[in-house]
Amino acid sequence: MNKIKLHFILFGAIVLTGCGSSKPPATMGENKSSNEVAQEEKAPNPEGLRHFMDGQLLMNQGDFAMAIIEFQQAITLDPNVGAIHTAIAECYWNLGKADLSEKHISLALKADPNDEQALQIYADQLILQKKYDDAQAPFESLHKLNPDDTRYIIALAELQKVKQNFTEAMNLYMNAYELEPDRLELLETAGRFAIRIKDENKAKNIFKSLSELDPNQPRYLGIYMDLVSRLQYFDEGEAFIQKMNQDHGVSPDRNAQLGLLLYRKGDTKKASKFLESSIEESPGNPNYYFSLFDIYMDNSEIEKAADLGDRLIANFPEDWRGYYSRSLVLMEQKDHVGVIDLLSPVSEPFQKVFSIQYLLGLSHDQLNQYTRAENYFKNALSLRPESKNVMHSLAILYDEIDEFEKSDEIYVKLIESDSSDAQAFNNYAYSLVERNVELDRALDFAKKAIALEPENASYLDTIGWIYFKLNNLEQAQSYIEASVKIADDNAVVLEHLGDVLMKANQPMDAKELYKRALELDRDNERLKEKASSE
């Protein structure tokens, strides 16, 4: 007969359980022999059977309240039949009365602790109520009754996952795979758990096996090669791909993975050749382009990277990554107008792409187009509300346009959310000293930034400039000179040191610093005046 079914989905594990009896209830009397019980099971109380069948019909029609009445009549005639209690439990569950449902499931299991249907329904209901600890016992009973049924092993594995016992979850998935070796997704899940517990060698071996079992699945090979690279087993990875090509024929996917492996190994020339050949053989796969693009950028082969970016846009106009890649080249060339010209026409279709919105914000900001920059930064922040890069960019922008309440709010949020954010401490300190307010507080922030990154040239300049404002020229000179020793190509820092020396009655040395700063910032009218003044 047709029966209403409960089901649960537990983080990817699906167990379907039939609810309602699969056979009529059997009459069971007290103090009867097993033979008598068996005979009565074959011949249930006719009236009780009629009530049970009527209850099943009503339950299938969704009339659970009336079904309960029929089942109660049946159980009066056959009081110890667990199947009837199971059917009543399902009806109460569908009526939203979980306590009564659990009571009848308990009665069904008391009558027969090995009643699989009752155990299945009970386990399902506990999962639906998120009582994961309680669900462990019925699933263990089901597994014990059906040791070769992978459904229960997977359910137990997912319960271990909920408890964050990933090692046990991994082992259970391995057990399930051994029972069903055709289900590679079970082995893959075990491999992912191995990665999660940082057992990289085990994960490597699992994904190597998966690559052998399904040589045409690039995902398995990609994960295996990532693990090989992480473990620096480069020779093993190279030999494996060569063997796969020998056994199954040369594949663009495998050659692309070999190219990435060689790049990570440091052999960029061979890496580029393999990726270039993969693109020639399979020009419709954008992933090859992106891998080769990264190599070109890292090797400062800007023209090649630009050409590849153009090809990405031409071949895959719906893929935002092509526009993003080409924009990175323009950013490297400091062509912010070019970035805006490229990305503005696609900013609307890619309005949900964080990287596109953020790059537009950065480019407008570099051109001092603060209103547009602010809008794009806000768009990016709406997509990733916790992005520190965007928050830092916005705070600096607000400092530039003297909206200090907004910048202060962002700096406070950054500092409170991460006490190791040296950039936030430094930038807040510099914002305060430039306003010439709360200098003691600014000094405290600057000290925290220096404590976190003592060799950062910008941070050394900030704390030196605060000491200058506090009229502590000795400390100011010490810190800013240390900054210049680390990086002597910053016009602002050179000007700061010049101001310190000028105030310390060293005008000739100060003027030399102003001249050096002016060479770096030739349009700075203030520096022109300082460098030329008598």
Domain boundaries, the chain: 199-282, 453-534
Q: Does 19 score more than 70 pLDDT?
A: no
For residue 120, the 8-state DSSP code is H
Contact (CB, 8 A) for 517 and 494 = yes
- CATH architecture of the region 453-534: Alpha Horseshoe (1.25)
Residues across the chain: 534
**pLDDT tens digit sequence for 367-382:** 999 999 999 999 999 9
- Distance, C-alpha 249 to centroid of its chain: 35
Is there a common fold for 199-282 and 453-534?
yes
Which candidate, 151, 25, 149, places its Cα nearest to that of 83? Answer: 25
pTM, two decimal places: 0.69
d(CA 528, CA 510): 13
**pLDDT tens digit sequence for 194-251:** 999 999 999 999 999 999 999 999 999 999 999 999 999 999 999 999 999 999 998 8
Neighbouring CB atoms inside 10 A of 444's CB total 13
Which one of 3.40.50.150, 1.10.10.10, 1.25.40.10, 3.40.50.300 gives the CATH number of domain 199-282?
1.25.40.10
- Kindly write down the DSSP assignment for every residue of 257-313, as one continuous string: HHHHHHHHHT-HHHHHHHHHHHHHH-TT-HHHHHHHHHHHHHTT-HHHHHHHHHHHH
Give the pLDDT band of residue 92 (cuts 50, 70, 90).
Answer: confident
**pLDDT tens digit sequence for 335-352:** 999 999 999 999 999 999
Provide the mean pLDDT of the chain. Answer: 88
